[in-house]
Amino acid sequence: MSGPATSDTTAQDGAGRAALVAALQATLEGEHAAVYVLGVLGARTSASASPELYARLQGLYAAHRARRDDLSGALLSLGEDPVGAAVAYDVPGPSGQGPRAVTDTARGVEARCAQAYAALVGSSTGARRRWAVDALRVTAVGLLDLGGSPEALPGTA
């Protein structure tokens, strides 16, 4: 299964469905921002001077793009219009453009996405929840790769 269970057989009704849709939309908003910010960070990183950081950012960018597309598909499968991306996003974090500032900012992106996926885990069931748990796991590993601290329950701090 590539996406957040577009054919999930564990249907949610009423308030459960509304919470699921809200969590999917919020997570999608976060992925739109992550794709934008990681693109900016990639542009600020020299592939020759910082090849490991550049490769890490490229991998994160690709993963977030794929999850963004998966989330859009899940919302469409529920008959919902996926939230669109903003024209631009603020790039949070240190104002510098060196490798340390880029890494710190990317770590913040991963931490915010982990929070969104933790909320999605709590709002979903069945295959959608399994997909969200996997996305949370991958995001937490990305956070660790960027020098983040291990947490017992990533995304809940």
CA 62, 65, 66, 67 dihedral sign is: positive
Q: How high is the pLDDT of residue 3?
A: 63
DSSP state of 4: S
- The structural architecture, per CATH, of the domain 14-145 is Up-down Bundle (1.20)
CA dihedral 112, 114, 116, 117 (to 10 degrees): 160
Annotate 78-89 with DSSP letters as a single string: TT-PPPPPPS--
CA dihedral 47, 53, 59, 63 (to 10 degrees): -130
CA dihedral 139, 145, 150, 153 (to 10 degrees): 0
- In 3D space, the residue among 85, 71, 64, 28 whose CA is nearest the CA of residue 139 turns out to be 64
Ranges of the chain with pLDDT below 70: 1-12, 93-96, 157
Exposed, middle or buried by CB within 10 Å (0-12, 13-18, 19+), for 67? buried
- pTM (2 decimals)? 0.89
pLDDT (tens digit per residue) in 54-95: 999 999 999 999 999 999 999 999 999 999 999 999 987 666
- In this structure, what token pair is assigned to residue 14? 């009423």
For the chain, domain boundaries:
14-145
- In this structure, what token pair is assigned to residue 95? 């104002």
Q: How high is the pLDDT of residue 11?
A: 54
